Amino acid sequence: MMRRAICTTMHLLLLGLAVSAAHAQSAPAQPPTPTDVRPGSITSEDVPYPYPSSYLDFTTYGQAVRIAYMDVAPIGTPNGHTVVLFHGMNFAGFYFGGPAEAIRKEGFRVIIVDQIGFGRSSKPIIPYNFHDMAYNTRRILDHLKIEKVMVVGHSMGGMLAARFATQYPQRTERVVIYNPIGLTDGRFDRPWTPVDESYPRNLASTYQTVRAGLFRYVSHRPEAWNADFERWARVRYSWTLSADWPRYAMVQSLISQITYLDPVVNDWANIKAPTLAFGGAEDSLAGPVSVFQGRMKHIADTVPNGNGRLLLLPGLGHVPHLEDPGRTYPPLLAFLKEGLTAR
């Protein structure tokens, strides 16, 4: 009896080891840490930007800061309109070179803002929120004497685009909410995570965790991971090697609270400008793609007076302009150009 029990136990143990080995073989291997990435500046001076950066100095929460932006002139005959691009949480203005170039070729002036806490702008320890981001963007527009703009916001920038449009409706001609996050009010889906819990995780970031965070953008089609995605993964990883990383890890922990503390689900019903809910249809950041698609339709339906419209591109994920610019730009440009005769 005992011998039989021992044999059975050994059989189960060997079977378990075989299953574990098979699982290990089928699981994708973690990419090795690149050895040629040097510590990067947390203010991105060493990151290639598509156009020269300008800066505006001011004080926020009692701290002297500067906000960076790119002011891109139109190509050819100016059409008299300006487009502001709002970046996502894992990026800054540096990834907007392609969209900006396509937009300026249609005669638009383009303003690309590195929000405070991102890119080449200051990294203060402050309570981050969309009201401040919208207000700081208005500072830049006032400085440049630009009265009216069309706004295109990607990912986190989609939330900011909604907030800017509701705070400054007289200055907002058109709105593109482009693969946004914050599609639901997360306060009722999960409990609050304090900064003291998220900060150690950020501080411990590795190349593998950074890359995995961006790889979610192509989870619908892993082969869509290309040199552009890899470039930005290496940029983000370079920050973790900097002596300033402990500070920036705290800033990023504070920024990550925005979607929880400052939801925009009630902003959509107060947007007065024509609005396009736009992007890749296979975005899975919110869960199953059906959730994303349903909430994007909800945005389009919620913008009042029939001003909302939905356009999702099949087969594309969270960052369509990096995945397939040839399919992304034409419908975006078409919507913006519709506004040229609105005045």
CB 70 within 8 A of CB 100: yes
Structure tokens at 115: 């929000």
Structure tokens at 2: 């005992």
Q: What is the pLDDT of residue 21?
A: 40
* Tokens representing residue 148 in the block: 């009216």
Nearest-10 Cα torsion for 200, 259, 133, 251: 0
CATH code matching the domain that covers 54-341, chosen among 3.40.50.1820, 3.20.10.10, 3.40.50.2300, 3.40.50.970: 3.40.50.1820
Distance CA 275, CA 318 (A): 19
* Pairing relationship of beta strands 54-60 and 63-72 according to DSSP bridges: antiparallel
Closest CA to 303 of 165, 132, 160, 150: 165
Q: What is the 3-state secondary structure (H, E, C) of 143-175?
A: HCCCCCEEEEEECHHHHHHHHHHHHCHHHEEEE
Q: What is the pLDDT along the chain (343 residues), one digit of tens a residue?
A: 334 433 433 343 333 433 334 333 333 568 999 999 999 999 999 999 999 999 999 999 999 999 999 999 999 999 999 999 999 999 999 999 999 999 999 999 999 999 999 999 999 999 999 999 999 999 999 999 999 999 999 999 999 999 999 999 999 999 999 999 999 999 988 899 999 999 999 999 999 999 999 999 999 999 999 999 999 999 999 999 999 999 999 999 999 999 999 999 999 999 999 999 999 999 999 999 999 999 999 999 999 999 999 999 999 999 999 999 999 999 999 999 999 986 5
Structure tokens at 95: 């990834």
How confident is the model at residue 10, as a pLDDT? 36
Is residue 114 within 8 Å of 85, Cβ to Cβ? no
This prediction has a pTM of 0.91
Decide: 276 and 333 in contact? Cβ < 8 Å.
no
Q: What was the pLDDT predicted at 342?
A: 61
Instruction: Answer whether 256's CB lies under 8 Å from 249's CB.
Output: no
SS (H, E, C) the chain: CHHHHHHHHHHHHHHHHHHHHHHHHHCCCCCCCCCCCCCCCCCCCCCCCCCCCEEEEEEECCEEEEEEEEEECCCCCCCCCEEEEECCCCCCHHHHHHHHHHHHCCCCEEEEEECCCCCCCCCCCCCCCHHHHHHHHHHHHHHCCCCCEEEEEECHHHHHHHHHHHHCHHHEEEEEEECCCCCCCHHHCCCCCCHHHHHHHHHCCCHHHHHHHHHHHHCCCHHHCCHHHHHHHHHHHHHHCCCCHHHHHHHHHHHCCHHHHCCCCCCHHHCCCCEEEEEECCCCCCCCHHHHHHHHHHHHHHCCCCCEEEEEECCCCCCHHHHCHHHHHHHHHHHHHHHHHCC
Tell me how far apart the alpha carbons of residues 334 and 138 are, in angstroms, rounded to a whole number: 26
Q: Where along the chain do its domains lie?
A: 54-341
Beta strands 149-154 and 172-178 are: parallel
